[in-house]
Amino acid sequence: MTVKPPILRPGATIGVVTLGSPLRADTINARIGTLQSMGFQVVLGRYVYADNGFLAGTDRERASDFMMMIENPDVDLILPTRGGVGVAGILPYLDYNAINRNPKILSGYSDISVLQNALYQFADLITFHSLLLLNFTSSEPAYNYDQFFAATSTPVRTRAILNPEGHPLVGRVSGSVTGPIVGGNLTSFVDTLGTPYEIDTLGKILLIEETHEPINQVYRMVNQLALAGKLSDCLGIVMGECTNCPESYGVTYESFIQTFMVPLGKPLLTNLASGHGRYKAAIPIGAVVNMNADNATLTVLESVVRI
pLDDT single digits (tens) 55-70: 999 999 999 999 999 9
Q: Partners of 41 in the beta sheet?
A: 13
Of all residues in the chain, what percent carry a pLDDT higher than 90? 100
pLDDT single digits (tens) 151-202: 999 999 999 999 999 999 999 999 999 999 999 999 999 999 999 999 999 9
In 3-state terms, the chain is what percent helix, strand and coil (to 5)? 35, 25, 45
In angstroms, rounded to a whole number, what is the distance separating the alpha carbons of residues 18 and 133? 10
Rg (CA), the chain: 18
Transcribe 100-133 into DSSP letters.
Answer: HHS--EEEE-TTHHHHHHHHHHHH-B-EEE---G
Residue 40 has pLDDT above 90, yes or no: yes
Domains of the chain, each with CATH number or no CATH: 13-153 (3.40.50.10740), 159-300 (3.50.30.60)
Element (H, E) at 291: strand 288-292
Residue 272 has pLDDT above 90, yes or no: yes
Cβ contact 236:202 at 8 Å: no
pLDDT single digits (tens) 81-127: 999 999 999 999 999 999 999 999 999 999 999 999 999 999 999 99
3-state SS, residue 85:
coil
Helix-then-strand count for the chain, H and E: 9, 14
Whole-number Cα distances in Å, 197 to 75, 90, 130, 191, 222:
26, 11, 21, 9, 18
